């Protein structure tokens, strides 16, 4: 593909500065709320590994509580990777099998398709993380990156729910860049990204576009302000651009949760934007 | 000389690169008092706090809740604590007409009753993540304060991006320009936050073109997921950065400033004296 030069370079970060800023973010959020640490679901994927690594730097590993939350069909290699990352970071970690809770529900809904089952798993994990956060006097650390947020590739109130998210303004390729800088295991960084909600699932298969292309197109749309046709003129595949633009538009509702019908002059989040320190 | 006070040409300045608690004026006053005390221990004569240092920046609908008149006891407390030291602090000002302004007050310096100068931010950024015009009214005046070392002007953050303001202050005799700021950071591939490189280009160019000292004090800390990029710095009239504070941490940057350097720069390269007002066109 004959893409315009320089777009990939514009996605490069200064990794030490980015790591310093993001650890400061986590430390500030935990100190401001007066809580004692964070909980994070570690899947063995690169996003949750990076979030956990930044938190371990920010707070010290003992204040980062990792949770392995497999379902019975989850790839066993994911659990091994998750354990390896937790041990690499020296964070306390615990496994809670979500199969009994998820299966109990779907016994009443036997015809549910894989999408519904995947969403339920993602939300089951998040209810566990929020409960453990309450128990451990901690915040729930998010692991969603900017690419999946913009493309709506997440489960509402599942993996996209959290109290703070250090990765939400990092494109996927930047997650990889920062993960390498922080010395996460190659096996975790190099494997094909997958939500692991059903066997053989991959992100890029679901999205229909590779992350490198998605990040460059999203950068041109949102950071540079180009129109889709201008991006195609720069040599990007028209089908890929259309796919990305369509996903971004279709799933905007996932990024602006709690849409409140306004009746008064003091509607929360619309008339009353009370900031969070 | 007209004021007869310009013999005090050397002053020790301090940039108080602090974090602020959003919406917590009482807590921020205490924080200012601690930094004033530390600055006094280090012999500082002019101490600069960042933009909206008494309230935090991203107030949105909290803005009216934290507004103060320029005669407020909170500001008098700072002036009393400052004593002979001059202090610049940022606050939400409620004017006599009930308007809200993003203001910076020059306090202390031996005067306790009223600030020497209250600068109301003239350009209110309302783009990107900035929403100032929704909550503030812009100022309408540019003023100078005359202190022991001479004339001093204040421009708040975005004001500096409109270069005629610094020009007018320099023309009116200011050799020292104070720039409190709340500049959010962005991380790119470079060694400093990406937007800070632009800021430093601006402060250096402003110092060079107007032959004046620039005291740029930016804040640090986080508000709603956005960080302020610190990097407060002092620029001498030739455009050289004398010293720079760190990016993320609170820091008191202390420097000795010789105001005669501005005079010498203006003699060597008389940009201000040469400025013409009679050039016509284009129409």
SS3 track for chain A = CCCCCCHHHHCCCCHHHHHHHHHHHHHHHHHHHCCCEEEEECCCCHHHHHHHHHHHHHHCHHHEEEEECCCCCCCHHHHHHHHHHHHHHCCCEEECCCHHHHHHHHCCCCCCCHHHHHHHHHHHHHHHHHHHHHHHCEEEECCCCHHHHHCCCCCCCCCCCCCECCCCCCCHHHHHHHHHHCCCCHHHHHCCCCCCCCCCCCHHHHHCCCHHHHHHHHHHHHHCCCCHHHHHHCCCCHHHHHHHHHHHHHCHHHCCCCCCCCCCCCCECCCECCCCC
Q: Residue B212: which residues within 8 A CB-CB, separation 6 or more?
A: B166, B169, B170, B174, B175, B176, B177, B206, B237, B262
Any chain B CB within 8 A of the CB of A181?
no
Q: Answer yes or no: is pLDDT of A166 > 60.
A: yes
Please name which of A9, A23, A54 lies closest in space to residue B227, comparing C-alpha atoms: A23
Interchain contact, A25 vs B227, CB within 8 Å: yes
Most A CBs within 10 A among B225, B229, B251, hence the mutation to make, goes to: B225
Q: What is the pLDDT of residue B4?
A: 43
Interface of A with B in 22-51 (CB under 8 A): 24-25, 28-29, 32
Interchain contact, B248 vs A24, CB within 8 Å: yes
Of A193-202, B59-68, B236-245, the range with the lowest mean pLDDT is: A193-202
Q: Answer yes or no: is pLDDT of A28 > 90.
A: yes
Q: How confident is the model at residue A5 (pLDDT cuts 50, 70, 90)?
A: low
> Given the DSSP bridges, would you call strands B86-94 and B100-108 parallel, antiparallel or unpaired?
antiparallel
Q: What is the pLDDT of residue A267?
A: 87
Any chain A CB within 8 A of the CB of B56?
yes
Any chain A CB within 8 A of the CB of B224?
yes
Interchain contact, A29 vs B222, CB within 8 Å: yes
Please name which of A30, A29, A93 lies closest in space to residue A62, comparing C-alpha atoms: A93
Interchain contact, A20 vs B191, CB within 8 Å: no
- Residues in chain B with CB shorter than 8 Å from the CB of A32 are 222
Interchain contact, A277 vs B23, CB within 8 Å: yes
Q: What is the pLDDT of residue B8?
A: 67
Q: Answer yes or no: is pLDDT of A118 > 50.
A: yes
Q: How many CB atoms lie within 10 A of CB A261?
A: 5
Q: What is the pLDDT of residue A51?
A: 98
Measured CA distances, B9 to A69, B34, B107 (Å)? 67, 28, 20
Q: pLDDT, tens digit, for every residue of A210-225?
A: 999 999 999 999 999 9
Tokens 């970060």 map to which residue? A13
Q: pLDDT, tens digit, for every residue of A55-106?
A: 999 999 999 999 999 999 999 999 999 999 999 999 999 999 999 999 999 9
Interchain contact, A18 vs B187, CB within 8 Å: yes
Q: How confident is the model at residue B3 (pLDDT cuts 50, 70, 90)?
A: very low
Q: Answer yes or no: is pLDDT of B2 > 70.
A: no
Q: What is the pLDDT of residue A265?
A: 85
Q: Answer yes or no: is pLDDT of A199 > 90.
A: no
Residue B177 CA, distance from chain mean position: 7
């Amino acid at each position: 593909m004959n893409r315009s030069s320089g777009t990939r370079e514009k996605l490069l970060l200064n990794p030490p500065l980015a790591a310093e800023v993001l650890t400061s973010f986590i430390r500030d959020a935990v100190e401001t709320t007066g809580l004692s640490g964070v909980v994070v679901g570690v899947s063995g994927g690169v996003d949750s590994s990076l979030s956990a690594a930044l938190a371990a730097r920010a707070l010290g590993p003992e204040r980062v509580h990792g949770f392995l939350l497999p379902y019975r069909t989850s790839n066993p290699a994911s659990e091994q990777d998750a354990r390896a990352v937790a041990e690499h970071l020296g964070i306390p970690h615990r496994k809670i099998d979500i199969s009994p809770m998820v299966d109990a529900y779907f016994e009443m809904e036997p015809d549910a398709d894989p999408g519904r089952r995947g969403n339920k798993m993602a939300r089951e994990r998040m209810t566990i993380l929020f409960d453990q956060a309450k128990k451990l006097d901690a915040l729930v650390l998010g692991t969603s990156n900017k690419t999946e947020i913009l493309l709506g590739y997440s489960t509402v109130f599942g993996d996209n729910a959290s109290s703070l998210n250090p990765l939400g303004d990092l494109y996927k390729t930047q997650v990889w860049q920062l993960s390498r800088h922080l010395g996460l295991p190659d096996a975790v960084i190099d494997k094909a990204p997958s939500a692991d909600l059903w066997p053989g699932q991959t992100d890029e298969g679901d999205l229909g576009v590779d992350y490198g292309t998605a990040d460059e197109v999203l950068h041109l749309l949102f950071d540079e302000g180009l129109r889709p046709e201008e991006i195609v003129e720069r040599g990007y595949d028209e089908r890929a651009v259309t796919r990305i633009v369509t996903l971004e538009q279709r799933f905007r509702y996932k990024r602006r949760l709690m849409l409140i019908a306004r009746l008064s002059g003091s509607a929360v989040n619309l008339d009353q934007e009370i900031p969070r320190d | 000389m007209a004021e007869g006070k310009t013999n005090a040409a050397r002053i020790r300045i301090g940039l108080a690169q602090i974090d602020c608690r959003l919406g917590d004026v009482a807590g921020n006053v205490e924080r200012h008092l601690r930094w004033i005390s530390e600055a006094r221990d280090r012999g500082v004569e002019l101490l600069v706090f960042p933009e909206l240092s008494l309230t935090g920046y991203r107030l949105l609908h909290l803005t009216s809740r934290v507004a103060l008149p320029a005669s407020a006891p909170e500001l008098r407390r700072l002036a009393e604590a400052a004593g002979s030291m001059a202090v610049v602090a940022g606050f939400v000002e409620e004017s006599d007409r009930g308007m809200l302004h993003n203001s910076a007050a020059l306090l202390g310096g031996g005067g306790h009753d009223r600030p020497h100068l209250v600068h109301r931010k003239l350009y209110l950024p309302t783009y990107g993540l900035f929403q100032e015009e929704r909550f503030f009214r812009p100022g309408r005046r540019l003023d100078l304060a005359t202190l022991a070392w001479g004339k001093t002007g204040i421009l708040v953050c975005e004001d500096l991006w409109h270069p005629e303001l610094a020009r007018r202050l320099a023309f009116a005799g200011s050799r020292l320009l104070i720039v409190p700021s709340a500049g959010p950071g962005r991380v790119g591939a470079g060694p400093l936050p990406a937007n800070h490189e632009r800021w430093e280009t601006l402060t250096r160019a402003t110092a060079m073109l107007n032959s004046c000292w620039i005291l740029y004090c930016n804040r640090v800390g986080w508000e709603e997921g956005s960080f302020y990029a610190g990097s407060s710095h002092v620029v001498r009239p030739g455009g050289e950065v004398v010293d720079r504070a760190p990016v993320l941490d609170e820091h008191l940057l202390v420097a000795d400033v010789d105001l005669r350097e501005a005079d010498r720069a203006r003699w060597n390269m008389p940009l201000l004296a040469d400025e013409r007002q009679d050039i016509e066109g284009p129409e």
